[in-house]
Amino acid sequence: MRNVSAILAVALVACGRTEGTEQLLTCNPSVSVEVGAVVDCPPALAYVTRAERATGIDLSQVQIVFEAEDDLAELGHPEFIGFTGDGKVHVAAKYSGTLVHEAYHVGYGQPDHCGWSSPARLMVFEENLVWGSFDDACAHVRCSNTTDFTDARGQVWGLGWKCD
């Protein structure tokens, strides 16, 4: 039994890497998943592909880390579920759909979310189950997801976006 434990420990170290105090599993050269996250490599890679398709933005040149925690407090952002900076994207794995939001930061910058309250952008967020909120500095509105989204036919959906 000790030999099996030792082999598993070596296997985890061989396929992962440590960054700071977190243990990361490397999915490919640009995508990692923190050990203990609610996703592992296959779904994480699928989220990356989905974000690229939804936004038309290539994410292959940025490091993406799916974090195990429900927020990014350990990175100094307790109110965030996604953060882009210094060539890296961090996403709370529980809210992996927010990678779509972060992809727009990678592609266009715009820390002020200028113009993001457009119906077309909000539709992309709805279609890809993006959670969160942001302030559109140009339109002077706060946009956030709602779980009470009902379409014109009266069909209730699990996620919508609104701006006030």
Q: To the nearest whole percent, how much of the chain has pLDDT over 90?
A: 62
CB atoms within 10 A of CB 130: 27
pLDDT in tens, 46-69: 999 999 999 999 999 999 999 999
| Of the residues 65, 85, 109, the one at which a domain ends | 109
d(CA 78, CA 143): 19
For the chain, the domain total comes to 2
- What are 146's strand-pairing partners? 160
Res 96: pLDDT: 94
d(CA 129, CA 77): 21
pLDDT in tens, 12-52: 333 443 445 679 999 999 999 999 999 999 999 999 999 99
Res 109: pLDDT: 85
d(CA 27, CA 42): 8
pTM of the full structure: 0.81
Q: Is 31 helix (H, G, I), strand (E, B) or coil?
A: strand
- What are 88's strand-pairing partners? 63, 85
Q: To the nearest whole percent, how much of the chain has pLDDT over 70?
A: 82
Q: Say whether both 65 and 27 belong to one domain.
A: yes
Q: Say whether both 6 and 81 belong to one domain.
A: yes
Q: Say whether both 1 and 64 belong to one domain.
A: yes
d(CA 102, CA 51): 9
Q: Say whether both 103 and 118 belong to one domain.
A: no
Q: Say whether both 13 and 91 belong to one domain.
A: yes
Range of the domain at 57: 1-109
Q: Say whether both 83 and 55 belong to one domain.
A: yes
